[in-house]
Amino acid sequence: MGRKAGELVRSDRGYDVFIPNPLPPEIVYDDELHFLLSKADAALARLDGVTEVLPNPDIFVAMYVKKEALLSAQIEGTQVSLQGVLEFEANLKPKEDIRDIREVINYIRAMNFGIEQLRKDDLNLVLINESHKTLITGTRGSDKNPGKFKDKQNFLGTPGGSIFQAAFIPPPPEKIEELMRELEAFIQEKDRLPVLIKTALIHAQFETIHPYLDGNGRMGRLLITYYLYWTKSLSRPLLYLSFYLKKYKPEYAEHLNRVRFHDDWEAWLKFFLKGVIEVSENAIQSAREIIALKENSIKKLIENKVGGTHAIQLLDLLFDNPTVSIREVADKLKISPVAANKLVNRMVVLGILQEITGKERYQMFAFVDFIRIIEKGTRV
């Protein structure tokens, strides 16, 4: 093990590229790092346990995947809302740029693909490359080798600036295969590093290698969830750091650069663990609000003598799919369109549902209180 994160090497074109050393580095555990690690482990355990008391934990996870996808895309400058994504999924014409929405939808697909693969396979380069392919195919990055390592030099800097003005120049294409093989070996190594420490190291190293021409930030954030799920640190993929990384975006970039140029691994680890604590606590609070929302909605239906069994069934449907049409309600509940229309209108009067198309025909209705809980922090 070495202390240095890596070294700058002068390229034949006159700029310095950064070549990271293999993981792990030597880490100095002071009292603060020990405390944050203990607190983050406890927060993660509480988050994993809270899903057991939710009305439908899989739907909660599915909505949180949408939230993570939105926030991860927003970090990269994409302007899209949860409402826009839900409208797209409901086959409505969104008001927002369809190209932005596709980036969010692809992130959701990549997350679901990766989690499904990790149920039966290891976290390896094949899975990472396939996830990357899913992530950027059909988006603005479609022409940038989806699922393949970069074939030309990339850099991080001001849009429109030259490579000589870059804030950071990652390793050149000819080094990527070797560096990613080393990262894969570290991911799969059975060591005694605490899982959250190892997760933070993996993410930082991936972002430093920057192996693709496009989508490195999003792919690196996917890796956080992949690793925690693969190591069974979470029984469901429910820790998403994009909320925290978007909130502290300048600090995030600064910590990664301090690792690269000042070997300050400890400050990065502390920043990462604080994020795990904050995001876990936010998700737990959201879960509690959803439980309370279901209880209050049922109470409202009973007090207003609305719909009996069918009303409760519709409420369950809304936690599964928070945007519905009259036809969908009729089909799912196996009732007539007239009965479905009457039930939906009663829920509109009670404020549970809200019509979102503004049309007389082919109307769509949204479970607005549920959407508000999930979308916190995603407003652009």
Q: How confident is the model at residue 42 (pLDDT cuts 50, 70, 90)?
A: very high
Q: What is the DSSP letter of 365?
A: E
Where along the chain do its domains lie?
6-285, 304-375
| Fold classification of 304-375 (topology level) | Arc Repressor Mutant, subunit A (1.10.10)
Q: Which residues contact 287 (CB under 8 A, 6 or more apart)?
A: 50, 51, 53, 54, 60
- Per DSSP, helices labelled H in the chain are 31-50, 57-75, 82-89, 98-118, 125-136, 173-188, 195-209, 216-230, 242-247, 249-262, 265-303, 308-320, 326-333, 337-349, 368-375
Q: Tell me: pLDDT of 23 over 70.
A: yes
Distance CA 253, CA 270 (A): 14
3-state SS, residue 295: helix
* Structure token pair of residue 31: 């009292």
Q: 89-98, 179-188, 311-320 — which one is most confidently predicted on average?
A: 179-188
The structure tokens 């029984």 sit at 235
Which amino acid is located at 14 in the chain? G
**Alpha-carbon distances of 51 from 45, 59, 150, 209, 322, rounded to whole Å:** 11, 10, 39, 35, 19
Distance CA 242, CA 18 (A): 25
What average pLDDT does range 232-258 have in this prediction?
Answer: 92
Select from 171, 101, 151, 107 the least CA-distant residue to 133: 107
Q: Which residues contact 341 (CB under 8 A, 6 or more apart)?
A: 326
Model pLDDT for residues 263-316, shown as the tens digit of each residue = 999 999 999 999 999 999 998 998 889 889 999 999 999 999 887 899 999 998
Q: How confident is the model at residue 257 (pLDDT cuts 50, 70, 90)?
A: very high
Q: Tell me: pLDDT of 55 over 70.
A: no
Q: How close are the terminal C-alpha atoms of the chain, in Å?
A: 43
What average pLDDT does range 118-144 have in this prediction?
Answer: 94
Distance CA 260, CA 315 (A): 51
CATH no. of 6-285 = 1.10.3290.10
Q: How confident is the model at residue 259 (pLDDT cuts 50, 70, 90)?
A: very high
pLDDT for 376: 84
Q: What is the DSSP letter of 323?
A: E
Select from 20, 19, 15 the least CA-distant residue to 166: 15
Q: Tell me: pLDDT of 209 over 80.
A: yes
Q: Tell me: pLDDT of 380 over 60.
A: no
Q: Tell me: pLDDT of 2 over 50.
A: no
Asked if 327 contacts 356 with a C-beta cutoff of 8 angstroms, the reply is: no
192: β partners: none
For CA atoms 153, 131, 370, 280, the dihedral sign is negative
Percent of the chain at pLDDT > 90 equals 70
* Phi, psi angle pair for 9, to nearest 5°: -125, 130
Q: Tell me: pLDDT of 3 over 60.
A: no
Model pLDDT for residues 56-68, shown as the tens digit of each residue = 788 778 888 888 8
pLDDT for 1: 43
Asked if 17 contacts 171 with a C-beta cutoff of 8 angstroms, the reply is: yes
* Phi, psi angle pair for 81, to nearest 5°: -115, 165
**Alpha-carbon distances of 178 from 23, 124, 183, 257, 269, rounded to whole Å:** 13, 14, 9, 22, 25
Mean of the per-residue pLDDT values of the chain: 92
pLDDT for 95: 78
pLDDT for 357: 85
Q: Tell me: pLDDT of 52 over 80.
A: no
Model pLDDT for residues 295-306, shown as the tens digit of each residue = 999 999 999 988
pLDDT for 141: 80
**Alpha-carbon distances of 173 from 165, 168, 176, 180, rounded to whole Å:** 20, 15, 5, 11
pLDDT for 105: 93
